[in-house]
Amino acid sequence: MTADRLVFGDHPSQLAWGIGDIARKRAQLTPDATAFVFEDVPVTYHTLNVRVNQVAHALKKSGLKKGDRVATLLFNGPAFIETYFAAAKLGAIFVPLNFRLVAPEIQYQLNNSGACLFIFDEQMTAEVAKIRNATSIRPGGFVVVTETPDLSEGYPQWVSPFESWIKAEPSTEPHPDTPVSLMDPLAIIHTSGVTGNPKGAVVSHLQTYFKCMQVVMYTDMRSDDIFLAQIPLFHSAGLSVVLTPVLFRGAAFLLRKHFDPSVFARDIEKYKPTIILALTTMWRFVLETGELDRMDLSCVRQVLGGGERTPASLLETLADRGIHLQQVFGQTENSAMMVLPGQDVHRKAGSVGMPGMCNDVWIADENGQAVQPGTQGRILARGPTVMSGYWGMPEKTAESLSQEGVLDTGDIGFMDEDGYFYIVDRAKDMYRSGGENVYPAEVEKVLMQHAGIVHAAVVGVNDETWGEAGKAFVVLQKGANLSLADLHRFLEGKLARYKYPRHLEVLDALPLTASGKVHKAQLKKR
């Protein structure tokens, strides 16, 4: 057989596959099995694929082609899942936005990705309306997901209700104009930037398949597993560590529109999940309900968590209730990089585990050379789970990703003699509040727009509820006054609320380094 007969378009036939094929294959292999349960309503793999195909046909009719970007601003729910797999079937690039964002942040991320179609929740309509004429979205490209599915009245003419939009579309498999390849971009997931502007990490279909395999191996996931998670699906963890691997394996995914600690606890009792993922802050809230104290948790086989520094006291409290939390380490640029094996939760307390089967991780000095166990250094990683780069930002890509595909995670840590990794600090100027990454530069950029602020710096400080929270240090104009409440009022509509500093201190001057930069280490010591 000649080489030219092994080619579909520009792609070798062996690579003509994509994440969208998960929905198609599951509908063939396990059509009657439960794909997910949303707000107590089960959806089978057959039903999911029918809906995915209808959305794909609607996207195609709207003019979406391979490589075009479709953005979402959605709470957890069927519409998010359906749009994700529909875009994947067409070779379109999925751009999930954080539903906590406000209008200026939404506008930036839409334009940064060049999205041409935008599907958003009805609760976001007011924010979207503020910026709809200043984005890359095409005319007719705004689609709203409503609580009342077929309601078309009461919505402005510039939007199309989601259910009406897909209602007449066929359930047959869509055929993209150009075949989808495993090497094609699947999604652009934004992560805030050290310099203030969010960066869109590009992940391919192939990288996501490797993540699926890695998570399945981490958890020894089976098709009869029930996976409980209430983390936002727009996060890389929700998308790449939970949703896609669970449906890839043919297991069942329990999800809710929002996280509610009491409901989360009762879901454990009601559905008997075998695998659970929840961030450290979420576990704090769940424990406060007291619901776990009276439950039989023997159904739970694996518990994944982390997302921020997890105190030993919390791990012990969970262990007393039969929950042995396995720390997970990853980031948007390389999800599920490491997991602490269940048998080592107590023996290696404080560790984030060992690298997965599909990536290598090591500690390096400032020259990039590997260091001996026990020596602190930068955490580097490589492998088929690492992102392709940042969308439209070659310089930023080069700063984090070498030509050899080595990712600088921006974290400082060490490896022990047994190969287990420990996180010490972050090299990048970032902190985690309630599992959300917050980059001070982004907040400082907005603070400096305040007429009364001459100079501003933000650092992350310990917080009993959120793990870490922002503290703003400001220098004011002569005669100016500023309270924390004043600051929050100023930030309203300019930043998502989770980025608001929770503490404020006014100084006569900020400490500076010899090069004239703000000396944040001194501020943290305060």
Q: What structural domains does the chain harbor?
A: 27-32+45-204 (3.40.50.12780), 431-525 (3.30.300.30)
Please name the helix (run of DSSP H) or strand (run of DSSP E) that holds residue 485, with its range, or none.
helix 484-491
pLDDT greater than 90 at residue 303 = yes
Contacts of 310 by beta carbon, 8 Å cutoff, 6+ apart: 280, 325, 327
> So what's the pLDDT on residue 316?
87
Asked if residue 15 lies in contact with residue 183, where contact means CB atoms within 8 angstroms, the answer is yes
Long-range contacts of 401-409 (CB under 8 A, 24+ apart): 401/333, 406/368, 406/380, 406/381, 406/382, 407/333, 407/334, 407/380, 407/381, 407/382, 408/378, 408/380, 409/331, 409/333, 409/334, 409/337, 409/378, 409/379, 409/380, 409/381
Mean pLDDT, the chain, integer? 90
In this predicted structure, the answer to whether residue 427 has a pLDDT above a threshold of 70 is: no
User: Over 80: is that where the pLDDT of 470 sits?
Assistant: yes
Residue 465 near residue 67, CB atoms below 8 Å: no
pLDDT confidence of residue 196: 60
25: alpha, beta or left, given left = phi > 0 and alpha = psi -120 to 50?
alpha
Weakest mean pLDDT among 249-263, 302-316, 343-357, 399-413: 302-316
pLDDT at 508: 87
- Evaluate if residue 262 carries a pLDDT over 50: yes
On whether the CB atoms of residues 244 and 237 are closer than 8 A, the answer is: no
Show the beta-strand stretches assigned E in 300-403.
302-306, 326-331, 334-339, 354-355, 360-364, 377-382, 389-390
Q: Are the CB atoms for 180 and 20 separated by under 8 Å?
A: yes
Assess whether pLDDT exceeds 90 at residue 509. Answer: no
Across residues 185-213, what is the average pLDDT? 89
Higher-confidence residue: 228 or 336? 228
- The pLDDT of residue 373: 95
Residue range 213-233: average pLDDT?
96
SS3 334: strand
Are the CB atoms for 510 and 522 separated by under 8 Å? no
Report the pLDDT averaged over residues 143-153.
Answer: 74
pLDDT recorded at residue 153: 62
Distances in whole angstroms, Cα of residue 22 to Cα of each of 212, 248, 418: 11, 6, 37
pLDDT at 150: 55
Q: Which residue has the higher pLDDT, 115 or 6?
A: 115
Alpha-carbon gap, residue 236 to 244, rounded angstroms: 10
**Residue 8: Cβ-neighbour burial (10 angstroms; 0-12, 13-18, 19+):** middle
Mean pLDDT (whole number) for 339-367? 91
- Please give the Cα distance from 158 to 140 (Å, whole number): 6
199: left (phi over 0), alpha (psi -120 to 50) or beta: beta
Which of the four pLDDT bands, split at 50, 70 and 90, describes residue 26? very high
Top-confidence residue, 58 or 514: 58
Mean pLDDT calculated for residue range 34-39:
98
Instruction: Tell me the range of 147-156, 191-200, 247-256 where mean pLDDT is highest.
Output: 247-256
CA dihedral 499, 502, 506, 512 (to 10 degrees): -50
25 or 523, greater pLDDT: 25
Q: Cα–Cα distance between 352 and 341 in angstroms, integer?
A: 9
Determine the average pLDDT of the residues in 420-435: 78
Q: Describe the crossing of helices 280-289 and 261-271 by its angle, rounded to 10 degrees.
A: 80
Residue 483 buriedness (CB in 10 A; 0-12 / 13-18 / 19+): exposed
Question: For the chain, percent helix, then strand, then coil, each to nearest 5?
Answer: 35, 25, 40
Taking 60 as the threshold, does the pLDDT of residue 1 lie above it?
Answer: no
Least confident of 170-184, 213-227, 465-479: 465-479
DSSP 63-82: T--TT-EEEEE--SSHHHHH
d(CA 158, CA 133): 10
Between 373 and 346, the higher pLDDT residue: 373
- Is the pLDDT assigned to residue 151 strictly greater than 80? no
The residue assigned the tokens 């394996």 is 249
Residue 394 has pLDDT above 80, yes or no: yes
Residue whose tokens read 């939404």? 106
- State percent of the chain over pLDDT 90: 69
Span of 63-72, 73-82, 131-140, 310-319 with lowest mean pLDDT: 310-319
Q: What is the pLDDT of residue 2?
A: 42
**Nearest to 20, CA basis, from 137, 221, 174, 161:** 174
pLDDT (average), residues 445-460:
86
Q: What is the rounded average pLDDT of the residues 391-419?
A: 93
pLDDT at position 411 is 86
Q: Is the pLDDT of residue 246 over 50?
A: yes
Q: CB neighbours of 2 closer than 8 A, spacing ≥ 6?
A: none
Question: What's the whole-number mean pLDDT along residues 348-364?
Answer: 93
Q: Which residues contact 161 (CB under 8 A, 6 or more apart)?
A: 143, 144, 146, 149, 150, 151, 152, 155
- Predicted confidence at residue 7, as pLDDT, reads 45
Q: What is the 3-state secondary structure (H, E, C) of 187-217?
A: EEEEECCCCCCCEEEEEEHHHHHHHHHHHHH
Q: Measure the CA dihedral 98/101/107/113, to 10°.
A: -20
pLDDT at 127 over 50: yes
Q: Determine the pLDDT at residue 516.
A: 53
Task: Provide the pairing of β-strand 7-8 with 11-12.
Answer: antiparallel
Q: Which of 309-318, 380-389, 445-454 has the lowest mean pLDDT?
A: 309-318
For residue 515, pLDDT beyond 50: no
For 390-411, what is the mean pLDDT? 93
Report pTM. 0.84
**SS3 at position 291:** helix
Q: Could you please report the per-residue DSSP string of 23-49?
A: HHHHHHHSTTSEEEEETTEEEEHHHHH
The DSSP 8-state label assigned to residue 222 in this structure reads -
